[in-house]
Structure 1
C-alpha cells in the first residue's frame, strides 16, 4: 500500500508534463531566423520530421504551435520552406484528426521519449509514437480502452489486434501498417 508521500510522488511524476493552461510555442524553419535569411544554407533548416515532432509534442501538452517562415524580398517563399510545409501538410492530411480539435489527455501528455497522447472528447483516444514502430507497440500505462473498442493506425485501413495484460496495452503492428506511416505514427482507440 502506498503511503501519502509515495502517492504524492507518483502524482507529480504522472502530471509533471501536463500543462492545464493554454500556452504557445514559436519555432522558425530557419534555425537562425524567424523569417528568411538568405545567408542560411538549406542543410540546417528544420526537417519535416522535426516540425511534426514539435507539433505533436506541443499539442499533446495543451499548447499551440506557430511555425515561422518568411518570404524573400520579392514575396516568394524559398523552395526549402515550401518543401517542408508541403511535407508537413502531407502528414497532417493523414493524421490531422489527432491534432485538430483535440485536447490534451488529463492523465498524462507524455510517456518516455517516444509516446504522446491526445483526446477527442467522447470520440477517440490517440497514441502518437515518435519513433518507427516494431511488430508490437506496448504502452505501459493505463489507457482508456475496453473490450469491444477498436484500435487502428491512421493511414492504415485495417483494425489492429490488441490486448491488455497487467495494465499494459499491447498492439500488434503488421508490416503493412508500419510502412504507411512516417515521422510520427498515430494509433486511434475508439468505440465501434
Structure 2
C-alpha cells in the first residue's frame, strides 16, 4: 500500500446508472475482451447484486497492515526513515539479506485473535481485511510455496491468519485478505514500483508469478476461504495474459469479492480511493475508501498523528452518504498489539454506532442535491486539478421510508432543506429513546423540521425524516 491519488473521471448520475441496471437486470453484460472472462464479465446484474449484498450493507470494515516491517517500526540503522512504515525496505533501500534478518526478531507473542476481532466488532465494523503478504514478500501464513513466512522464518511458528479467520466467523464478521500480487522486493523477479536496488531482486516477473504469487494465492484461497481478496499496486509487468491466469483461479470462487488493483485491464468489483473521499463518490459503482488512522499503514513507533474520533466518524458518514464503504486501517506492532490510541478511537465510533447504526448499515446515498463543498479556485490536488473543499455541516443517508440527516453542526431551532424531493410524513431524533415526534412543515421542495434547543450528540446527531413514496 502506498499513498497515491488515482485519476478518476466523473461518472454518470445515479438515476442513469440505476435505470440502466434495471433495464438489463436479467441479461449478462457483453463479454469484455479479456484473455479469460472474469465473473464480472459474465454475471447478470441480479447475480452481482446478490454477490455484493453483504458488502454493500456492511459500510464499515477494518484494514490491518501487519508484517515484518513492524520490527524496524520506521527506523533503519538507528535513524528514522521518512515515508510509510510498510515501505521501509524500499524507502531505505535495505538489501534483501539484511531485511530478511528481521524475521528472527519477529515473535508476536501478545497477538490474540479474539482481542482483535472483538475490537473490530466493538467498533461496529462488519468485515476485516488483513495483509497476507505485503510488498516486502513476507507471508503472514505458513506457505509451502516460499519459506519466507511467519511459520518457517520466525520464532513464532503460528498461523495468525487461521486464528483470525476462525475468530471472525465465530463473531459474525466477514474475513478478507490483502495480497501483493505484483510487487515483491525479496523474491527474484518480483516487481518494484520504484526500481530494484539489489541484485538479489533480479529475475523474471512471470517466473515469480508462477513460482510464488499464484501458488500462494492458491494457498490462501483454499486454506482461509476469504470473502474479500484485496490486490494492490499493479505495474505494467502484470500483462492481461498474466493477470488472466490469476483470474482463472479467482473464478473458482464465484462468491469472492475482489478489487480493481489486480492489473491487466481487469476492473474487479470495487473502486478503491486511497486516503481521500471522492466528492461525488462513484455513482452506480461499488467503492471503498481505505484510510489510515494516523499517517502510515504499517506500524511506525514515532507516528502519533492520530485523527480524532470526530474526523473518523464524520468520514464514515460522508462515505456512506455517497454510497461507499470505509475500510479503516490499524497497524499492530511487532508484539501483536494494536496501538491504544487507535483502539480508543474505534471503540468511540462503536459507541456512536450502537445508538445510530441504523443510519449507516444497509443505507443508500443521500436523496438531496447539496454537494456539501466546492472546488477551490486557488488550491490544487496532487493531479493539478482544483482541490475539493468539503463543508462539514450535515450529510444524509437513506432507506425506503426514511432519510437520516446527520447533523454535524446544530442548525438551531430548525433544519431546512430547499431541494427535498421526498414526501415527509414525520420526524424524530434517532438518539431519543422515545422518538418524540418533531414538527415537520413542507411546501413543495421546501422542508423544515423543528428541532430541540440542543444536539443530543456533540459529533453527529441523527435526524430521522419519515417519508412515503410519491
TMscore range, shorter length: 0.7 to 0.9
**What are the within-5 Å matches in structure 2 for residues 20-31 of structure 1?**
20-30=284-294
- Residue 180 of structure 1 aligns to a residue whose secondary structure is coil
Task: Give 2:192's aligned residue.
Answer: none
4+ runs deviating over 6 angstroms: none
Aligned length: 173
Q: Please, what TM-score do these two structures have when normalized by structure 2?
A: 0.34
- Which of these residues, 413, 420, 444, is aligned with residue 142 of structure 1? 420
- Residue 321 (structure 2) pairs with residue 60 (structure 1): yes
Task: Give 2:397's aligned residue.
Answer: 118
Q: Deviations 1:94-148 (Å, cap 9, x if unpaired)? A: 111010011114564745532322111x3312122232332211112124124xx
- Residue 449 (structure 2) pairs with residue 180 (structure 1): no
- Structure 2's unaligned 5+ residue stretches are 1-12, 17-278, 374-390
CA-CA distance at 1:180 after TM superposition: 1.5
The change in CA–CA distance for 1:51 and 1:99 in structure 2 (over 3 A counts) is: same
CA distance in 2, matches of 1:102, 1:109: 18
**What are the within-5 Å matches in structure 2 for residues 67-106 of structure 1?**
67-105=328-366
The change in CA–CA distance for 1:35 and 1:108 in structure 2 (over 3 A counts) is: farther
Root mean square deviation, CA, Å: 2.7
Task: Give 2:269's aligned residue.
Answer: none
CA distance in 2, matches of 1:185, 1:110: 20
CA-CA distance at 1:71 after TM superposition: 1.3
Q: Deviations 1:10-57 (Å, cap 9, x if unpaired)? A: xx8xx9836221111011001x2023321023xx21111101111111
Task: Give 2:438's aligned residue.
Answer: 160
CA distance in 2, matches of 1:118, 1:179: 19
**What are the within-5 Å matches in structure 2 for residues 28-47 of structure 1?**
28-30=292-294, 32-41=295-304, 44-47=305-308
- Residue 452 (structure 2) pairs with residue 171 (structure 1): no
CA distance in 2, matches of 1:107, 1:132: 18
Q: Which has the larger radius of gyration?
A: 2
Task: Give 1:7's aligned residue.
Answer: none
